[in-house]
Amino acid sequence: MSDDYEANIRDWLISEGLEVRERPDQRADFHLMVRYPPTPHGHVFNIASPKQRNLVVVSTVTQVDAGQQDAMSKRSEEDDSGWEGWLHESRLNLTKSGVDWVLHVRNSTESPPGPLQAFNLSKPIWTDGLSQNELMQTLRHLWLTKLALIHEIKYSFGPGVGKPGPVDDWQQQGVQQLPPQRDAEVSTDESGSFGSGFDPSEWQ
């Protein structure tokens, strides 16, 4: 049955002009990667079907720019309550968005906590409700939620330096941090961009 779901998902994505790649994953019946929106500067989204589960999880990870992390650290030193307030509002806004989220914050148990180093957004689709419309709306919802936080980070902490910063959680877990790539730059039809390498490419 998972083969049917995978085939349908591939067909739906390809029909929307999206490039699909496969990622080896022993925990999933299938794990696909797609760049969305379908532009050279789209972000990588993962679409995986966990084994022994009747659902598909759509997710995306963003690694925060090193320059923006430095600006966050400076803010926390100069105005710790303001920084903790910013994190609190970000958590509330993500919760209100209706997506599942994880914020990777350095020294998250300390006061004040360190900079936001990365964030992971995801949303499940149970197979009895899986359709092309539901899949594409989920991708769009996650993208807009991600874009909102990217805008907020850029507005509050500047455009960054074009290089992703460290993620302590990943280092502790032995996860390889990915190098910045020029095609990972996020752009819209505005005159500005969000900084090269703001989102690490996962096309490996």
Q: Is the pLDDT of residue 178 over 80?
A: no
| Helices 132-157, 2-15: crossing angle, 10 deg rounding | 60
Q: Is the pLDDT of residue 181 over 90?
A: no
pLDDT for res 183: 32
Which residue has tokens 């807009």? Answer: 144
pLDDT for res 169: 77
Residue 84 contacts by C-beta under 8 Å, 6 or more apart in sequence? 76, 111, 112, 113
> How far is Cα 47 from Cα 136, in angstroms, rounded to an integer?
11
**Cα angle value 88/94/100 (rounded, 5°):** 125
pLDDT tens per residue across span 133-163:
999 999 999 999 999 999 999 999 999 999 9
Task: Give the single-character DSSP code of 62.
Answer: E
More confident position, 177 or 34: 34
Number of C-alpha atoms within 13 angstroms, CB side, residue 137?
9
Is-contact 22 30, C-beta < 8 A? yes
Is-contact 201 178, C-beta < 8 A? yes
pLDDT-derived band at 172 (thresholds 50, 70, 90) equals low
At the topology level, CATH places domain 2-173 in Yope Regulator; Chain: A, (3.30.1460)
pLDDT tens per residue across span 38-51:
988 889 999 999 99
Domains of the chain, by residue range, sit at 2-173
Q: Is the pLDDT of residue 26 over 60?
A: yes
Give the count of beta carbons closer than 10 Å to the beta carbon of residue 179. 11
Q: Which residues of 64-101 are buried (b: 16+ CB within 10 A; e: fewer)?
A: bbbbbbbbbbebbeeeeeebeebbeebeeebeebebeb
Judged by DSSP in three states, 132 sits in helix
